[in-house]
Amino acid sequence: MSDLHRATRPLTANEIAEINRTHLIDTPLRPADLLFMFGTREDVGLRADTAARLWREGLFRWSIVSGGVTPGSEQSECTIIKAAMTKAGIPADRILEEHLAMTTGENVIFSLPIIDAALGLQNIRSVICLGNSWTARRYPMTLHRHWPEVEKMLLTVDSFAAPRALWHTDTEFRRRVLHEWDKIEPYKARGFITEWPEA
């Protein structure tokens, strides 16, 4: 199914409620050992400012930014996002870097050895996943597939005018949410992600 059809297909009230309840979630936050910043080209400034607020509030001690070079850019997503994070006030020496990932799975797979070498995976007990609202729980579901031991929290951001619960009323927000929602079950079936939060 094309993105156009995803964006325009009819949705029932129950489908909208299910996506709001299970996919477009944030969790309560408490101080974590690590902030995992997933690469993006969208809302970089908003993402960095959010990370800086978490840093000022003492909600993480270390962070990792993961993201490779995307078409049309000469710099990796990691380079661009880390620069925005340091500009927003997070010390550069507290930000680990991963510059190759092109997918959410690669974000995690490529970052784990970097985290292990710098900090020791056994020393990380809790992680806050920070990413785009429409990708939502797929971030911690991917992390849970490869690093089940660590506690995961989720915070997502976007710059859409539509409130999060009314994503379906904005054409582009709707397209992005449905594009990600439609990946969940196939990705679970292929072993790319694992159910989170666990029932």
pLDDT class for 4, splitting at 50, 70, 90? low
Is the per-residue pLDDT at 76 higher than 70? yes
At 6, is the pLDDT very low, low, confident or very high (cuts 50, 70, 90)? low
Task: Output the pLDDT for position 129.
Answer: 97
Domains of the chain by start residue, with CATH = 3-155+172-189 (3.40.50.620)
pLDDT digits (tens, 9 = 90+) for 165-181: 999 999 999 999 999 99
Q: So what's the pLDDT on residue 82?
A: 97
Local structure of 30: helix, strand or coil:
coil
Per-residue pLDDT tens digits for 90-133? 999 999 999 999 999 999 999 999 999 999 999 999 999 999 99
Phi-psi map region of 122: left, alpha, beta (phi>0 left; psi -120 to 50 alpha): alpha
- Give the length of the chain: 199
Q: How far is Cα 31 from Cα 43, in angstroms, rounded to an integer? A: 24
pLDDT reading at 184 higher than 80: yes
CB 154 within 8 A of CB 140: yes
Of the CA atoms within 13 Å of residue 142, those in its CB half-sphere come to 25
Give Cβ neighbours of residue 162 (< 8 Å, ≥ 6 apart).
169, 170, 173
Q: pLDDT-derived band of residue 162, with 50, 70 and 90 as boundaries?
A: very high
pLDDT at 197 over 90: no
Mean pLDDT of 24-47: 94
Confidence of residue 72 (pLDDT cuts 50, 70, 90): confident
Predicted local confidence at residue 42, as pLDDT:
87
What integer best gives the mean pLDDT of the chain? 93
The answer to whether the CB of 166 falls within 8 A of the CB of 177 is: no
